[in-house]
Each structure stands twice: as structure tokens, then as C-alpha cells.
Amino acid sequence: MASPYPDGDREKVASKLPSVLRQELKIRAAELGLDIQDAVTSAVQDWRQLPQGGPVVDTAGAESYSTWLPVGLYDEFKGTCTDRGVSYTQGLAQSVRRWLDAHPSPGGAPTGDIPQRKIVCNQKGGVGKTAVSAGIAQAYAEEGKRVLLVDYDPQGHLSQQLAVEQIPPGHDSLVSHMCDEGSGDLRDLIVVIDDPRFEKRLHLLPACFDGFLLDAKIAIQSMDRSKRGIQKESALERALLKVEADFDVIVVDCPPSLGIAMDAALYYGRRRQGEPQGASGVIIPVLAEDSSATAYSMLAGQIEDIRDDFQLDIDYLGLVVNLYDSRRGVVATSSLKQWRDLGDPRVLAIIGDLKEQREAVRMRKPLLSYAPHSDQAEAMRQIARGAAW
């Protein structure tokens, strides 16, 4: 609460803050040559300007914390917390965490080992998201990286293609962990793709039928006043953070959707503190046709909205023009030219409408194992190289 101890145009305020955040704040302010009270003032002011606050922060064990803020700011901050349905402790923790992320150490050192996160997405179905997701994951595993493929699409095509059963309704799954209802360790759900080419480096988190209800479940959960804010956007990250240390690359095969689930995937693929530009981000499979251009513009609009709403850096890693066949005439060739002319995002690869991918799906085998020397397999390697930093 505010205390009547003026310091010029400031007043002393008291709240609570986790000791880890307090220590990190003290070090960062010193590194940047700032007074801690100025850092906290900036953190609170910036947090209040966000439409929906920040990611939920673990405040267990938070201890008393005092600082000086401009007169009236703390009362305004408390009003914002009330409007967002979060405690003052949670609001301050979110403010400080966001400020720390926005003001990295001058040394530029990452906060820990961060896996590259490739979000393969397009709200249009049938463009080859699953094929591209599987192919680039195999390419990364082939070159020695530990890879997790996340079948985020409840239709489960990726799981089916790799001969892994979907998780039945009501069982522990990615969805249950995203909704804070997980009953076990998420690692127990991950399946190793047992193919000698990848030497147990390729893993899959299978799809679950409950995924069809994910948007509704997260929306209902976010109506709980104690869980308002950006929680719905950070749901995928909160689930996968538990397994990130086990992998070098995480590839997310997204559903054809522009809903809350897609927001959570985009949020997960943002550039984190200490992460180089282009290490993580979105890969967008498209077709050389007009309807694909319309779908792309809708997805790009969603990406820009979430960038602006939460002031995030979400990198476009590139486009993949899939199922291309110049024999389809001027529509295909002119569309390909339009994709290339975009420039940013760039075209990572053009994949022909060839038989090897369909055969690999029929055989329920990884493409790079079934036809390692095919044009399609080489295209997947090209995408992986182009989307790496």
C-alpha cells in the first residue's frame, strides 16, 4: 500500500516481489546504470499500457518489497490490476519480468539454453503444413540435433503419418497441460521415432482429440478473474517450458485456425531475451494460387496484431511454396512470381507435387528415411537450412 513519505514528487510504496526477480532487477539496473526506482517506474508504466498485461509469473514465496514511485502511479497501477483481475503482487511481477525481458544484460548472454522454435502455420488447410513440419524436423534430427515435433493439430495427421496413436479424450495430454490440468509429467507423453537414420534424436508429442475443444477450454479458463491477462496466449509456452531443456529444436505443426490456439503458437514462437533474430519464428507453407494468398494475408494480419498488442518480436522465417506444378498454367506461375516478389518473408523452397511424400505417408514412415535422396527430401533440408540462424 502507499505510504505518506514524500520524496519530492515520489511516494514510498510497498508490495511483494519474488526474491529471484528482485535480485535480477537489482543486477540489471546496476548493469544499465539506472536507479532501481526508475526501472520499476518504467516497468509499471509500460505494463499498464499493454491491452492485456503480461504472462503469468510464478509468485510463490514472494517477499515484501518497497520502492519509490511518482505520486499517484501506484493507485493507478492498483486500479489496472483490479480491472485485469490480478493481484498487486502478480501485476508487479509481470511488470518487472517484462521490463527485464525488454532490457537485456549489456553482455547479451541468454538466460539459459533456448531451443529454436519453428512454428509451421497457415489458416488454410491442405497447403502441406504437416509435411513441412515433419520434413524439417527430420532434417534437423538427421544433422545431429535433438528435435521435438509437436502435433498441435487435433486432426492428428502428423501422428498418423509417423505411426503414433493419438491420445484419447480425457487422458493426460498437451491440452490438459496447457489448461493447467495435467496429471503427470509431459515427458511421459513424448514418443521417440524409432528409425536408425535419426538415432533416437527425433521425438513426437502426439495429437489429442481434446484439441478440438482447446479454444473453448482456454477461453473459459481466461474468464476466471484470478487467471486473466495474457494467460491464454502463454498456454502453449507454459506447457512446453517443462521439456525445453531436452531439445535443440521444437517444431510445432499448427491447426488451420486463426483462433486462440494459433495466438498461443505465435506467442511461443516469439524472439526471447538473448535469442538471435531468426532463430525462432514462423514458417508458412503456401500454394501457388489466389486462395492461398488470401489466407496468407489473414495470417499475417493476426501475426501483426499479436506483435502490436503485446509488443513482441515474431520473426518470419520464410515461405514454402508447396505442391508446385508449372503445368497448371498462368495461375501457378504468376502466383509463384508474387510469392517471390514479396521479398520479406523470403521463399525458402519450392516443393513440386511429387509422389515420394504421399508414398511415405501411405507407408507411415518419415520421408527422409523412406526416400532420403528424393527432391522432396532435399527440399526439406533446404528449408531447415534456410530457417536456421
Q: Hey, what's the cell of 131?
A: 509435411
pLDDT of the residue at 105: 67
Q: Hey, what's the cell of 154?
A: 487435433
pLDDT of the residue at 218: 74
The residue length of the chain stands at 389
What integer is the mean pLDDT of 341-359? 89
Q: What is the DSSP letter of 167?
A: B
3-state helix, strand, coil in the chain (%, to 5): 45, 15, 35
Report the Cα 234 to chain-centroid distance in Å: 8
Is residue 4 very low, low, confident or very high in pLDDT (cuts 50, 70, 90)? Answer: very low
Q: Contact 254/120 with Cβ under 8 angstroms?
A: yes
State phi, psi for 60 to the nearest 5 degrees.
Answer: -60, 130
Q: How far apart are CA 329 and CA 321, in angstroms?
A: 16
Q: How far apart are CA 95 and CA 75, in angstroms?
A: 15
Question: In this predicted model, what pLDDT tens digit does every residue of 167-180 receive, in sequence order?
Answer: 998 899 998 888 88
Question: In this predicted model, what pLDDT tens digit does every residue of 24-65 receive, in sequence order?
Answer: 888 888 778 788 999 999 999 999 988 877 778 878 778 889
For a pLDDT cut of 90, what percent of the chain falls above it? 52
Question: In this predicted model, what pLDDT tens digit does every residue of 96-112 receive, in sequence order?
Answer: 988 988 887 665 444 44
Domains of the chain by residue range: 2-102, 116-386
Q: What is the mean pLDDT of the chain?
A: 86
The CATH architecture to which 116-386 belongs is 3-Layer(aba) Sandwich (3.40)
What integer is the mean pLDDT of 244-258? 93
Count of CB atoms situated within 10 Å of the CB of 12: 16
Q: Looking at 264-268, 280-284, 290-294, 369-373, which range is the least confident one?
A: 290-294
